[in-house]
Amino acid sequence: MTKTIALSRLSNPVKRKDLEGVIQFFQDRKVRVLVSPVLEQDVDGKTRASILNDWFSQDVDAVFDVSGGDLSIETLEYIDLDQYQKSHTLFFGYSDLTPILNVLGKIRKTILFQIRHQTRMEQCLEFLEHGSQDLFWDSKAYVGGNIRCFLKLAGSPYFPVLAGKDIFLESYSGDLYRIRSYIQQFEWMPGFSQIHSLTFGEFTMLKEDRKWLEDWARRQNFPVKLTEEVGHGRFSKALWIKG
């Protein structure tokens, strides 16, 4: 049966020309590709969410959000969670889509992955068509994603339960001082001391300062792992998000 995917844009505007390689890749392999009609337009969150809701109602096989930046939380209150639950749609996104990944992940697992990088495309197709897990870093389901964007949910009814969960955090921007402030805020979140484990992914701007994460990890009373195979890098592997 022919697969249908959709390229969504819930965060900042995206130029369609940057996606032509992605579109062509899937079309060449007989996958039907839908593209958000407001990809490049500065429209409100309700409008952006309504397009996603339509795709859920059509039971599109997979939605890949190709945006990032700052604006995804404008859409949260307008996403039809009941329609999503009725569908079998898989939702992919990363970075500023972290809030969406975690909220939808409470209903059905979502996937931290950015198809816009145009890498691991064959692995992605193998997953969609045959369920191959080669795309993923491991088989575990996590809470989290980009630490800056994850903390946007703090103080909202959408912030997930941390206690007993495996947490994953990464960051693209942010020097050591900014990352330290994010982690301090994260430590204040309810349930932090009861988490099952924490994995730090790639922190792009830390470089030699990554040792600070290692030192912080040694002081915790739960397991902390570090990997650079998941994050904002072009060859990042995917991760399951459960929320």
Does 124 lie in the same domain as 11?
A: yes
Q: What is the pLDDT of residues 139-174, one digit of tens each?
A: 999 999 999 999 999 999 999 999 999 999 999 999
Domain ranges, residue 175 = 140-237
Which of 95, 115, 136 is the C-terminal boundary of a domain? 136
Which of 136, 155, 185 is the C-terminal boundary of a domain? 136
Q: What is the pLDDT of residues 2-30, one digit of tens each?
A: 899 999 999 999 999 999 999 999 999 99
Would you state the pLDDT for residue 207? 85
CB-count exposure of residue 195 (10 Å: 0-12, 13-18, 19+): buried
Give yes or no for residue 119 having a pLDDT over 80: yes
Whole-structure pTM value: 0.97
Give yes or no for residue 67 having a pLDDT over 90: yes
CB-count exposure of residue 215 (10 Å: 0-12, 13-18, 19+): exposed
Q: Give dist(CA 179, CA 170) in Å, integer.
A: 10
User: What's the number of domains the chain is made of?
Assistant: 2
Would you state the pLDDT for residue 208? 87
What percent of the chain has a predicted confidence (pLDDT) above 70?
100
β-sheet bridge partners, residue 34:
6
Whichever domain contains 217, its CATH number is: 3.50.30.60
Q: What is the pLDDT of residues 223-240, one digit of tens each?
A: 999 999 999 999 999 999
Within a domain: 243: no
Does 184 lie in the same domain as 160?
A: yes
Does 193 lie in the same domain as 107?
A: no
Does 90 lie in the same domain as 160?
A: no
